Structure 1
């Protein structure tokens, strides 16, 4: 319980104290190397960053450039998982600001690691302005307390300690996890005294109360649904009452079509969330559970130890802030696949019904499946990087590619990126997987393979994976294949596939041959 309360304070408090954060770090968290290139001090922000990164099981090690108003080209030579360009633009006139922004954009293109542009002040923002915009939002929120010129000669920055703390919270809770840690895929939320004030079974549909904080919380859930995050309900209530609630209460920002799965009954919530986990075909480590009852949160974490939890306190406004800041929910972009993800998962119910009634080949023919394999398509680079950073179950090596790394592989003469798109008569699933390969001494080395969980279980795994490997071999001109594989906590589906189809290729080069089946699904290959 203490841990849940502590995390809620980090996420929601408006009166954080620096002294309370300095010893809060993940003792065994994954170490990430952050290279800070700056023209003013970042140390006050770095001092508290681990307290926030701890919620993502991360710890930071820093290397710092000299204070450099010119931002030299050698600044990104330091090996790092992440580069952070920390610049006070008000040091320059308008012409100088334009030059520095151009310089920052040039620097960002010289590395394969993610780059954060964190610009303070200035009239114009860099191309990647997410962090800079967040800093401006923080400045607007805390007003005159954002700058402290009296301390600047001691701290090395005109940002006040309060401003540095809020910037540290944004970086540690939201931005850095979005770049270096897997994204959350689902939020499971309780109803009574969580999405509203009151008890549905006692107060009735018209009797439950929406406070300002509840509206903000529901709006955030609606925004997450629009970005492709699964929003599900787990509540001890009568199911029809809950369905009627969302139909009749037009003042609810969260609408019925935004909810992927209702699990409303009198069973234990841990059981219901396990069923949601199976329905979504994801691991519970990719799920966040929000509930006002500490006993429910405790029981769920005992049964599903890797699930993330958030306590819905009596302060609904604080809960909205906590959800806004929760690690793993910030998305830097929204893809076409994000927009149809919930419909695709819901269509799996119909696919399962057909699969139970028909022979495998008849089932696939009835769905009118089309698989499209594209090779080195520049328009799909962002989606490949995104998919690699959130896939956990069907992934070979956990490489977690940046956009720059995918670009390099897709543009090289001896490397390729094969993407797989899928559609059927029920829904267009979009890009659901990728194979990244390099030719080394005549051997096609498979750097990584990953497939979205929502595409699994449709009877197509063999065609998807082996077909993509065939496309990579054809492109690179060799059918001698070596597959790398790293066992992880949750990639058993990938391990089982390798054991059945590719075990002779694991860490050893061997001849690979595959022919697409005819007359079952439609195959399109474009290079």
Structure 2
């Protein structure tokens, strides 16, 4: 099962510890040139010896009808860079996908040569058969399922989308090997290779797919996502030093343009951008105002830290302003000393060395583990605008003393949805990503939540939040199970974007009252797990208990008290 550490520094103290830390940062930074080369080299990958500091240890079941062992060796350096320790439990060749030897694992991989089925069935028949096998696997496992294959049915109808293969299977994803290779400009299949290796995947495609698996697909299933990219300015977003070369003198090479465009694209997908630079603030603001050739502009940054102070302190302020944990931040800088300083002062922060010309930085950003997403939801798109609206919300909170009036000024609406399958991806994301307001730390995935939705004694609540300033999207998930006359809250997560608005009590208690299983309950029991980052959730629960007075014991609350809870005026409810 999953084991995590806090990304602590290498052992040792004083000078020796700092030397070891710098060597570790140097080795990781030097590996970028090999890992993120336009055409990665097998020989180059074999020379890498990255320090092993895994964020998590996992096991993967591999169900296959073609060779997978070749990829294990190619995957290792990419997984090491992603700080993933992954054991592959590779099962025997099997076209029938008989899962009788199944054992628990953190991820299920179906590594399929689809051409082995083309002579026996039409694409639609294969699609139906494969979905039945996925449902059989889902009945055994709640882990994410990754179907890695390609479309071998090429006729008059053209290439089909493989995404339909997993329709109706919660927590299942498609890794389209053909589409990945096409995007990289390499040929997927080479029949000559099949006779030797047991798979028709070409040698050049093997390199491309190993990088996709190790840096995108598997981290996208197993690791917490990166929510913000904090970037240096001089010799990172442009060539030159602003304070010396001036606004006109700094150079924007093609690599820097590509990098800035890639950062803008991340922002459009809901990833925060932060600027962390040692410069005069008015000079930097003038730069983005007077250089129309820059793809990025001043307003694209959700947090700006321009000063002559410590970048470690600046990154702490960025995380606080964006209301995210430090381990959700990627910091890009051209100075190895700065990166080593950040690694010492903020060991949770991800670091990336910027190249002088920007091209290598651009490529590294394309593959940095934790940035790639399986899908981009409307909730992701809301994130940036919602954060910008916080300044106005904070202003209102200062000038309006009455809570009800504050809510009326904002025009708050809470939408409650019960057991809605369409919410599964976002609710699973909340369970996986939420650290500060996560009461039980269950980390349920789509399959877990779908199983609760299917039970007669359980219910899953999704809560969306909006006001006149912005739509915050789906911001909370609550999982409740009925045990005789007690309703047990198995999981409760509220996104950090909803915190600080004095709505926690209302979100939780209104959600519970709307659960059909709540009727007739005598008590409501909250399951609580003490974690390193969920103190805000535990503090909220303590305050709630104080409000109940004598009407609670050991995390159990009298249901009657919740039934009589009066939400503050100014909050409108919609039940969907």
- Alignment TM-score, normalising by the size of structure 2: 0.83
CA distance in structure 1 between the partners assigned to 2:199 and 2:258 by the alignment: 34
Question: Counterpart in 2 of 1:6?
Answer: 27
SS in 2 for 1:333: coil
1:511 to 551, 558, 565: 558
CA deviation string 1:436-485 (max 9, x = no partner): 12223343222211111111112222222233233347556525222222
Preserved CA contact (<8 Å) 1:198 1:208: yes
Question: Which runs of no fewer than 5 residues in structure 2 stay unpaired?
Answer: 1-21, 155-159, 166-172
Question: Counterpart in 2 of 1:218?
Answer: 260
CA distance in structure 1 between the partners assigned to 2:134 and 2:289 by the alignment: 48
CA displacement at 1:76 relative to structure 2:
8.4
CA displacement at 1:183 relative to structure 2:
0.8
* Structure 1 residues 321 and 433: alpha-carbon distance in aligned structure 2, compared to 1, 3 A threshold: same
Question: Counterpart in 1 of 2:349?
Answer: 307
CA deviation string 1:271-310 (max 9, x = no partner): 2222211111111111111111122222222222211111
CA deviation string 1:91-132 (max 9, x = no partner): 343663614343333333341321112114624452268764
CA distance in structure 1 between the partners assigned to 2:368 and 2:511 by the alignment: 36
1:526 equivalenced with 2:575 (yes/no): yes
* Structure 1 residues 58 and 396: alpha-carbon distance in aligned structure 2, compared to 1, 3 A threshold: farther
CA displacement at 1:230 relative to structure 2:
0.5
CA distance in structure 2 between the partners assigned to 1:343 and 1:495 by the alignment: 29
CA distance in structure 1 between the partners assigned to 2:322 and 2:241 by the alignment: 28
CA displacement at 1:415 relative to structure 2:
1.1
Question: Which runs of no fewer than 5 residues in structure 1 stay unpaired?
Answer: none
CA distance in structure 1 between the partners assigned to 2:398 and 2:487 by the alignment: 38
1:322 equivalenced with 2:349 (yes/no): no
Aligned length: 524
Question: Counterpart in 2 of 1:419?
Answer: 462
**Which segment drifts farther, 230-239 or 503-512?**
503-512
Give 1:187-202 correspondences, 5 Å limit.
187-202=229-244
* Structure 1 residues 57 and 442: alpha-carbon distance in aligned structure 2, compared to 1, 3 A threshold: farther
Preserved CA contact (<8 Å) 1:444 1:476: no
Question: Counterpart in 2 of 1:233?
Answer: 275
CA distance in structure 2 between the partners assigned to 1:141 and 1:518 by the alignment: 54
* Structure 1 residues 189 and 160: alpha-carbon distance in aligned structure 2, compared to 1, 3 A threshold: same
CA deviation string 1:292-338 (max 9, x = no partner): 11222222222222111111022421111111111111111112221
CA distance in structure 2 between the partners assigned to 1:518 and 1:89 by the alignment: 56
CA displacement at 1:47 relative to structure 2:
3.0
CA distance in structure 1 between the partners assigned to 2:270 and 2:101 by the alignment: 34
Preserved CA contact (<8 Å) 2:506 2:567: no
CA deviation string 1:186-228 (max 9, x = no partner): 1111111111112222323333222222122112111111111
SS in 2 for 1:498: helix
Give 1:50-449 correspondences, 5 Å limit.
50-72=76-98, 74=99, 77-93=102-118, 96=121, 98=123, 99-110=125-136, 111=138, 112-120=142-150, 122=152, 123=154, 124-127=160-163, 132-133=175-176, 135-138=178-181, 141=184, 143=186, 152-160=194-202, 162-361=204-403, 362-449=405-492
